[in-house]
Amino acid sequence: DVKVTQSSRYLVKRTGEKVFLECVQDMDHENMFWYRQDPGLGLRLIYFSYDVKMKEKGDIPEGYSVSREKKERFSLILESASTNQTSMYLCASSLLAGNYEQYFGPGTRLTVT
Amino acid sequence: SQQGEEDPQALSIQEGENATMNCSYKTSINNLQWYRQNSGRGLVHLILIRSNEREKHSGRLRVTLDTSKKSSSLLITASRAADTASYFCATDGGRLAFGKGNQVVVIP
């Protein structure tokens, strides 16, 4: 079975802190994704990556950056956390682009105070 | 970007009944996918239906796709308490776009 793990289930950070969310997949998937999920808004794509060291902006990239130095690891970085970044963050991976399902991690619930 | 929209938003049914959810979208797609999310957890892929398919089954799940109406439905037959979850449709027109989700509560 594909396993996608995220570094933390719950995280509390202060405004202005730099925050790292880590995601690791163990199935040699090419594609990895970061979403945030908010009530009433569904899932929104922040960034995605189709290859090592490659990244593409999603629908809401402002205030975030990503890093993919190894195929199995995709990190989301909040350079200076703000309260409006309080959310559930979901990482996902898929084998290839197009016609493939995504496998999700358990999520990180981030609270910025 | 294109986005699936599920209808109804919330559904409450008795165990053993069938649950039906609909999803509409606006632009052309390669495939449409349905996911389930249990409270506070990640999403789990349920089923993928390609644009040239009209119906697909997986266990107690039945998905239909009508590309002329740009809509899909997910039917869960003989529901169980464990089916209580949020259900999302996601349209793939190059990358996945998720709807806002359907909350389904199955009462034992």
Strand positions, DSSP E, chain B: 5-7, 10-14, 19-24, 31-37, 43-50, 55-58, 61-66, 71-76, 85-92, 96-98, 102-107
Say if the Cβ atoms of B40 and A107 lie within 8 Å: yes
- Mean pLDDT calculated for residue range A55-76: 96
Say if the Cβ atoms of A42 and B101 lie within 8 Å: yes
Measure the CA angle with vertex B30, ends B84 and B90; round to 5°: 25
pLDDT band (50, 70, 90) for residue A89: very high
The tens digit of pLDDT for each residue in B29-78 reads 999 999 999 988 899 999 999 999 999 999 999 999 999 999 999 999 99
- Mean pLDDT calculated for residue range B8-33: 90
Contact (CB, 8 A) for B85 and B79: no
State the pLDDT at residue B27.
86
Kindly state whether B87 is in contact with chain A, defined as any CB-CB distance less than 8 angstroms.
no
State the pLDDT at residue B2.
36
DSSP alpha helix (H) spans, A23-81: none
Percent share of chain B, pLDDT over 70? 93
For an interface test with A, which of B37, B92, B96 has the most A Cβ atoms less than 10 Å from its Cβ? B96
Chain A CB contacts of B48 below 8 Å: 99, 101
Chain A CB contacts of B50 below 8 Å: 99
